[in-house]
Amino acid sequence: MGKSEPNQPSRPPVPVPPVIRSLLAALALLAAGLAPVAAQDPSTLRIGYQRSSTLIALLREDRALETALKPLNVEVSWHEFTSGLPIMEALNVGRIDVSADVADTVPVFAQGANARITYFAQEAASPTAQAILVPGDSPLKSVAELKGRKVAVTKGAGSHYLLLAALKAEGLPFKSIVPAYLTPADGRSALAGGSVEAWVAWDPFLSAAEVQAGARVLKDGTGLSDYKRYYLASDDYAAKRPDVLALLFGKLKETGAWVKANPEAAAERLAALWKIEAPIVLRANARRTYRVEPVTLDGLTEQQTIADAFRAEGLLPRAVDAAALPVWAPPTR
């Protein structure tokens, strides 16, 4: 699946937009070992996460992971990032060992830069947990009306692919809109301030903008993007510490089941951590499955679709075989 055809006729190179070119160049430099990092003490598990990493936020708050790892003589250090691609950069050069959940697009971009990473878990599809938003009083009623308009999106995030897929469904190329590559916080500010006419966001940012700012969903991921979130490890760490990954996998699965079984309690805990109202968190969590599963090669079909879509738009410099990344599987009992 996803294999390139060696006998296809060559085609002229597709120009890569500067923002994507600079991003991939940075990743490539790191992959080439131009930013070496001293070896880390193997008794410390370094986890990279972002604000929307719900299950990791709960594990960090109650120190359940530290307690579980104590018999293995492993400590934990936590490292927060603004979005998924910076996490991949840190993972690739050995500054962290494990990535908390990142959107489906993120491994594709990292793979495009030859990152040395391994899938070890995924959260099942949550297509409504990301959406294209417009202000509540916007005249826009359809994705087709985004043509020629400025849209805020986080580069390389799952929302980036949702925008691509939504435009394609209307027969529009990505270049038919004017992208503003912004972090989630800056994207919301830009939408509120009127400097963009739409913003593509994921939860909890999506729900917060709906409740607090009256933003309106123009189109969510239903029928366009499954929006799976993946957990990854560096190749080296996956090879050296499968025992730690097995324990972490179990804790993530247990925590995800607890969130869905105890929505109000989970919302109260996360509201305190994220400094937003519990009803917003409850709304956001209802859109996420939080069902933690092993990654399988057969389950990476949409990863190939994502890679091909970005490649067709000139946003990836080369073809990517989504089935080529290593997949770690938890031990069977």
pLDDT at residue 216 is higher than 60: yes
Cβ pair 107, 122 in contact under 8 A:
no
**Sheet-wide strand order for 130-134:** 178-181, 150-153, 198-202, 130-134, 216-220
pLDDT score recorded for residue 6 = 41
Question: Which residues partner with 233 through β-bridges?
Answer: 98, 118
pLDDT score recorded for residue 289 = 96
**What class has domain 18-126+228-324?**
alpha beta
pTM value is: 0.82
Identify the residue with better confidence: 1 or 45: 45
Cβ pair 295, 120 in contact under 8 A:
yes
Lowest mean pLDDT among 15-29, 253-267, 275-289, 313-327: 15-29
pLDDT score recorded for residue 317 = 80
pLDDT score recorded for residue 32 = 40
pLDDT score recorded for residue 83 = 84
Cβ pair 20, 310 in contact under 8 A:
no
Q: What is the mean pLDDT of residues 303-310?
A: 93
The Cα 225–Cα 220 span in angstroms is 9
pLDDT at residue 26 is higher than 80: no
Q: At a CB cut-off of 8 Å and minimum separation 6, what does 305 contact?
A: none
pLDDT at residue 16 is higher than 60: no
Q: What is the mean pLDDT of residues 320-326?
A: 88
Residues 153-186: pLDDT tens digits? Answer: 998 889 999 999 999 999 999 999 999 999 999 9
Lowest mean pLDDT among 38-42, 88-92, 225-229, 281-285: 38-42
pLDDT score recorded for residue 3 = 41
The Cα 116–Cα 112 span in angstroms is 11
pLDDT at residue 320 is higher than 70: yes
**Percent of all residues in the chain with a pLDDT value above 70, rounded to a whole number:** 87
The most distant pair of C-alpha atoms in the chain lies apart, rounded to whole Å, by 59
pLDDT score recorded for residue 313 = 86
pLDDT at residue 2 is higher than 70: no
User: According to CATH, what is the number of the domain 127-220?
Assistant: 3.40.190.10
Q: What is the mean pLDDT of residues 306-321?
A: 89
pLDDT at residue 318 is higher than 90: no
Work out the pLDDT band at 24, boundaries 50, 70, 90.
very low
Identity at 46, one-letter amino acid code: R
pLDDT score recorded for residue 42 = 53
> Any idea which residue has 């500010």 for tokens?
189
pLDDT at residue 252 is higher than 90: yes
Q: At a CB cut-off of 8 Å and minimum separation 6, what does 91 contact?
A: 48, 97, 98, 99, 110, 115, 117, 232, 233, 234
Average pLDDT of every residue of the chain: 88
pLDDT score recorded for residue 243 = 95
Cβ pair 107, 117 in contact under 8 A:
yes
- For the chain, the structural domain boundaries read 18-126+228-324, 127-220
Q: What is the mean pLDDT of residues 60-83?
A: 93
